[in-house]
Structure 1
Amino acid sequence: MYINNPNIKLTDDEDIIVWKYLDLSKFLDMLMSKRLFMSRSDKFEDQYEGTFSEPTYEEIKKIAANNPKFLDYYKSHREKVVISSWHINEYESFAMWQIFTKNNEGLAIQSTIGRLKKALEPERKTEQHIGEVNYIDYKKEYIPFDDTFFPFLFKRKSFQYEREVRIISDVTTDNLKINDGLKIDVDINQLIERIYIHPKSENWYKNLVIELVEKLGFGFTIEKSDLESDILI
């Protein structure tokens, strides 16, 4: 269930377009289970996920000097926060295709901020929040810690190209044991507005995706990306 958190930065424009680039197996798993996978925050490739910048860490160490459990909490809390990452962009991103899909057989889900919110409404077990990631200099800039989600909504400037918006959830109070992540119930038809097939894929692959999606009972518009279309000279 989507919960609006006034402390978390998010655009008011619900028509802002967002994308998720993934391989076919993960996409089909989403359709078949009607669930969205959210990865455990400490399982991301970036080791800084859920950590603090240097100025913030120095302040936390001072607090922890008299309360050691304060620092221990932030270290262990990463295991209880799960995240689904989306890319904000009006258009497809060549870089995202390169990074998040393999063997020219990936695809991209196109959605909007408004659709993400509505798609989360069926979920009743855990609360989800949606927030834009802030990109900062971890050696100089401060990350506030008056909200437990803040460490997960900041990343180093090196990742600015991701233009990330996150669905984020804290399962601490749900007594859930999670390994690599957690699947949450979503309204798939609300979540997905359009599907784009990898720009370098063959026609048989597009036809396969269309056939599989139809057999699963969904009627999404499916197009092949035109990033690799023929030049006009």
Structure 2
Amino acid sequence: MYIHDDNIKLPDDPETVVWKYLDLSKFVDLLLYKKLFMSRSDKFEDQYEGTFSEPTFEEIRKLSINNPEFLDYYKIHRQQVVISSWHINEYESFAMWQIFTQKSEGLAIQSTLGRLQESLSEEKDYEQHIGEVNYIDYKKEYIPFENAFFPFLFKRKSFQYEREVRIISDMTPYSMKIDNGVKIDIDICKLIEKIYIHPKSENWYKNLVIELVNRLGFNFDIEKSDLESEILI
């Protein structure tokens, strides 16, 4: 279930377009099981994920001098927070295709912020929050820590191209052992507005995706990306 939090930054317009770029196996897994995978926060490639900037860390370190468990909480907490990342952009992103899909066999889910929020109503057991990531200088800028989700809503400025919005869940109350992540129930039809096939893919690949989607009982609008269309002279 999606829980709105006034303290978490998010675009006001529910029609804000969001994207998820993924490979075919992850896409089939999503459709087949109708579950969205959320990765454990400390499993991301960015080692700073869920950590604090230097000014904030200095403050926390001072507070934990007589209370070492205060700092330990934040270290352990990273293992209990799971995240699904989405990209805010009115249009497709060439960079996202390059980074998040392998070779020419990937696809992109186009959705909106409103659809994302509505699709989470399918999950009854775990709470989800949605927030926009802030990009800051970790050597100079401060990350608030009065909200347990704030460390996961800030990243270094070098990741600014991601323009990320995140679905976040804190699994601590559920006493779960999380390996790589968890899967949550999601309304696939509300989630997906359109599917784009990799711009470098061949026609057989597009036909394969269409056939897979149809056999799994869905009827989404599917088209090949036109980022690689022929140049007109």
TM over 0.5: yes
1-structure distance, mates of 2:13, 2:67:
42
Task: Please tell me the residue identity of whatever aligns with 1:198.
Answer: H
Matching of residues 1-233 of structure 1 within 5 Å: 1-233=1-233
Q: Which amino acid aligns with 1:182?
A: V
Measure, in 2, the Cα distance between the counterparts of 1:152 and 1:6: 16
The CA deviation at 1:176 is: 1.4
Deviations 1:101-132 (A, max 9, x none): 01200000000000000000011111000000
What is the DSSP-based 3-state SS (H/G/I as helix, E as strand, rest coil) of the residue aligned with 1:30? Answer: helix
Give the Cα–Cα distance (whole angstroms) in 1 for the partners of residues 46 and 33 of structure 2.
28
Take 2:83 and 2:162, find their aligned partners in 1: how far apart are those partners? 15
Residue 216 of structure 1 deviates from its aligned partner by 0.2
Deviation of residue 134 (structure 1)?
0.1
Q: Structure 1 CA distance, aligned partners of 2:73 and 2:178?
A: 17
Q: How many Å separate the matches in 1 of 2:162 and 2:83?
A: 15
1:3 positional shift: 0.2
Query: In the aligned structure 2, how far is the partner of 1:214 from the partner of 1:35?
Result: 18
- Deviations along 1:57-99, one digit per CA (max 9) or x if unpaired, are 0000000001100000000000000000000000000000000
Q: How many residues end up aligned between the 2 structures?
A: 233
- Give the match's secondary structure for 1:103: coil
Q: Which segments of 5 or more consecutive residues in structure 1 lack a partner in the other structure?
A: none
AA partner of residue 117 (structure 1): Q
Q: Which amino acid aligns with 2:100?
A: F
SS at match of 1:58: helix
The alpha carbon displacement at 1:11 in A equals: 1.1
Superposed CA offset, 1:189-221 (max 9, x none): 000000000000000000000000000000000
Structure 2 residue runs of 5 or longer lacking an equivalent are none
SS in 1 for 2:179: coil
| Percent identity for Structure 1 against Structure 2 | 77
| 1:152 Cα deviation from its structure 2 partner | 0.2
* Aligned-partner Cα distance in 1 for 2:124–2:177: 17
Give the superposition deviation at 1:154.
Answer: 0.1
Separation of aligned partners in 1, 2:177 and 2:67: 27
Q: Partner letter of residue 133 of structure 1?
A: V
Moved over 3 A (4+): none
Amino acid at match of 2:61: K
Following the alignment from structure 1 to structure 2, what is the Cα–Cα distance between the partners of residues 30 and 175? Answer: 25
